[in-house]
Amino acid sequence: MALGELRYIWERGLEQDRLTGAGDRFSENLFWQNIVKNIPSKEPINPLRMRDLLFKKTISTKDISEYSRTIKELYNIMFKQAEKNILVDSSKIPNYLHALIEADVADIYVLHITRDARAVVSSWQNPKFDKGKGAMMSSKGFFSALLESIFINRWIARDFSQHPNYHTLAYEDF
């Protein structure tokens, strides 16, 4: 089952109530609402806290552990709710992947899809319509797009290339 970029559940789902892949609002989607109401956290989930943990410049072991506990609960419920053996999460943030691996909820396969940096820059420079937000997505300048692309790809390769289920695939190959 494809989940999209699950790292956005806190901000785009719980906080902003954007459209889901099914075309309805997060708060109206039966699948996601059943998942959220069944998370057995000791305290209510703070969407802003969860989002902010991922985007800290330096993330501590304590932060990763806190996020991992919540992700583990979320994934366990999603496996039950979806009645599927495979969930595909297309999140692209290395901190999120660290937390997911630490959560140890399933066999994690990392498919690192790389793309020619020129194509990434071209894509990020062209504004696109975001159906979930109902507005145009922000675009990035040449150097910002280039540096972010190189940085994220190198970070992922550095941190995860030794993972037993790490694989790379060039975007241009499919």
Average pLDDT over residues 134-144: 87
98 CB-near residues (< 8 Å, 6+ apart): 59, 64, 159
141 CB-near residues (< 8 Å, 6+ apart): 125
pLDDT number for residue 7:
86
Look-up of token digits 């507005």: 135
Answer yes or no: is pLDDT of 167 > 70: yes
pLDDT number for residue 84:
87
Distance CA 26, CA 12 (A): 8
Q: HSE on the CB side for 162, CA within 13 Å? A: 3
The residue with greater pLDDT, 38 or 51, is: 38
User: Closest by alpha carbon to 110, among 51, 159, 71, 172?
Assistant: 159
Confidence of residue 157 (pLDDT cuts 50, 70, 90): very high
8 A C-beta contact, residue 143 and residue 150: no
Q: 152: alpha, beta or left, given left = phi > 0 and alpha = psi -120 to 50? A: alpha
Residue 7 CB-density burial (10 A; 0-12 exposed, 13-18 middle, 19+ buried): buried
4-35: per-residue pLDDT in tens? 888 888 888 988 999 998 899 999 999 999 98
Distance of CA 121 to the CA centre of its chain: 21
Residues present in the chain in total: 174
Distance CA 51, CA 12 (A): 10
The residue with greater pLDDT, 42 or 110, is: 110
Q: What is the pTM of this model?
A: 0.79
pLDDT number for residue 31:
92
56-114: per-residue pLDDT in tens? 666 677 777 788 888 888 898 999 888 888 999 998 888 888 888 888 988 999 999 99
